[in-house]
Amino acid sequence: MAFSVLYLLIIFTVATSVLLLILSIRYYYARRIHNFSEKLFIKTEELLREKSKTENLLSRVLPRQTAKELITQGRVDSKKFQMVTVLFADIQGFTKITDEINADILIDQLDKLFYEFDSIVERYGIEKIKTIGDAYMCAGGIPKENLTNPIEVVAAAVEMMGCMKRINEQHNNGKEIWELRIGIDTGPVISGVVGRNKLTYDIWGSTVNVASRMESTGEAGKINISENTFLIVRDFFECRFRGKIPIKNKGDINMYFVEGFKPQFSGENLFSPNHDFIVELQLVRLSDLEEFVLEKLEKGLPENLYYHNLKHTVDVYTQVEIIGRSENVSREEMLLLRTAALFHDMGHLIDYATHEEMGVKMAHEILPSYGYTAEQIAQISGLIMVTKLPPQPKNLLEEIICDADLDYLGRSDFIPVSNALYKELHEHGMVGSLHDWNALQIQFIQNHQYFTKTARRLRNVNKDVQLQNIKRWMDELENNAYL
């Protein structure tokens, strides 16, 4: 008996010792893993901070898209752009100024001037390329291509001239100590990043050379543009022909002085734009937005959207302009209508049931980069939401987009469009048989009314014809079933 107890005690002691050894080993390795995890966490945090610093630094010296490409790919490919507007600005007689003004005052004023220039080009979405001493270079249409860059760059140049005059008035009692000379050309360029230790974004090509010649052959206090630029911007700015200049491999090029914004687009003076100019610029910029949205819809919409497809968006986009013109809406109201038409079904890229809400969300994300104000986006959002059935418009713009959205009810192609809508709704489980669908259509068309005089004039008669066709078809089905 005593032997059995002793035997059990030994076994217990050995088992306890083994367990304690295992626990101590597990604790030892757990401590090591914990310490390693802490060190890994600290190193990861340090790497993330360094990565963030690197990305912030790159975003300051390179365009955002270029910086992103460099971070993700480790390199930046050279890229050719077909339409870029290049601006060179130079302070006339800078060397003479340095002899007359205290160095600290000179640098302070130059810094303020270039800060003003930076603010102007940023507001117009123009890319600053570099400054060399008293020279300033920027370009529009890179790295994001657009159709508006000639107008934006010339507008920036006019505001730069106004800024220069304001600085002279504030600091030099109106005396023209600072004299600015600007040259501009529009055409193709090649962009890329040069340097190894110090990265620099730059552009090359004949357009850069011509813009530089426009500046060097210009006059103090003048904006000298090439004919390439003039042909695009002449409707917005007061321009005066000033002669020709021979350019190597290009022959003689016509040059024009830009005097300022046209009177209808001028604000307080010829050097500042008014609201009408901003709206006209947005209407030109709408072409870029249209291309962006329609491409997204063409590539991204589900294949089973037989009605809410690209064609429907184009139809509504066209109709809001037709009805809007007939209803005499303003230029800005037309901008809001056409933009809302582009976005009113864009939410189908995300969700079918809540596509209006998704369209509003996408408008808030995309439109600021196209120069839309918060107030404009709010109005566009309201126009998108009012297309939700049943339509309940509260003002003329809402009436126009509602009529445009249901324009097919009074068109000659009503039957094929209606069949496409039925097929779509049926596949989404929102309607039953074709008979049920036509019964719903009869009820909907009988209760529907076009809101604008234009839509009633253009579509009411044919809408009534289509309603009678559906009723007759339903009667024939019922009679055949009875027989």
Q: Which two tokens stand for residue 479?
A: 């009679």
User: CA 70 → CA 77, 138, 142, distances in Å?
Assistant: 9, 21, 16
Q: How far apart are the first and last CA of the chain?
A: 105
Write down the pTM of the prediction. Answer: 0.79
Give, for all 483 residues of the chain, the pLDDT tens digit.
555 666 667 777 777 777 777 877 887 777 777 777 777 667 666 665 655 554 554 444 455 555 555 455 555 567 899 999 999 999 876 555 666 666 666 777 778 888 899 999 999 999 999 888 788 999 999 988 999 999 999 999 999 999 888 877 776 565 556 789 999 999 999 988 765 555 677 899 999 999 999 999 999 999 999 999 999 999 999 999 999 999 888 889 999 999 999 999 998 887 899 999 999 999 999 999 999 999 999 999 999 999 999 999 999 999 999 999 999 999 999 999 999 999 999 999 999 999 999 999 999 999 999 999 999 999 999 999 999 988 999 999 999 999 999 998 888 888 889 899 999 999 999 998 888 888 888 888 888 899 999 999 988 888 888 888 888 877 666 665 544
Q: Which two tokens stand for residue 435?
A: 């008979």
For residues 473 and 438, the answer to whether their CB atoms sit within 8 Å is yes
Domain boundaries, the chain: 16-61, 76-273, 282-482
Q: Side chain identity at 256, as an amino acid letter? A: Y
Q: Side chain identity at 90, as an amino acid letter? A: D
- Please give the CATH topology (third level) of the domain spanning 76-273: Alpha-Beta Plaits (3.30.70)
Q: Write out pLDDT tens, residues 54-99.
A: 455 444 445 555 555 545 555 556 789 999 999 999 987 655 566 6
For domain 282-482, say whether CATH 1.10.3210.10 is its number.
yes
If residue 419 lies in a helix (H) or strand (E), which one and from where to where? helix 414-427
Residue 273, beta-bridge partner list: 266
**Angle ∠(302,308,309) on CA atoms, nearest 5:** 60
Q: Which two tokens stand for residue 277?
A: 């100019």
If residue 257 lies in a helix (H) or strand (E), which one and from where to where? strand 251-261
**Roughly what angle, to the nearest 10 degrees, separates helices 331-343 and 374-385?**
60
Strands in 283-361 per DSSP E:
none
Please classify residue 463 by burial: count the beta carbons closer than 10 Å to its beta carbon, then call 0-12 exposed, 13-18 middle and 19+ buried: buried
Q: Is 282-482 in the same CATH topology as 76-273?
A: no
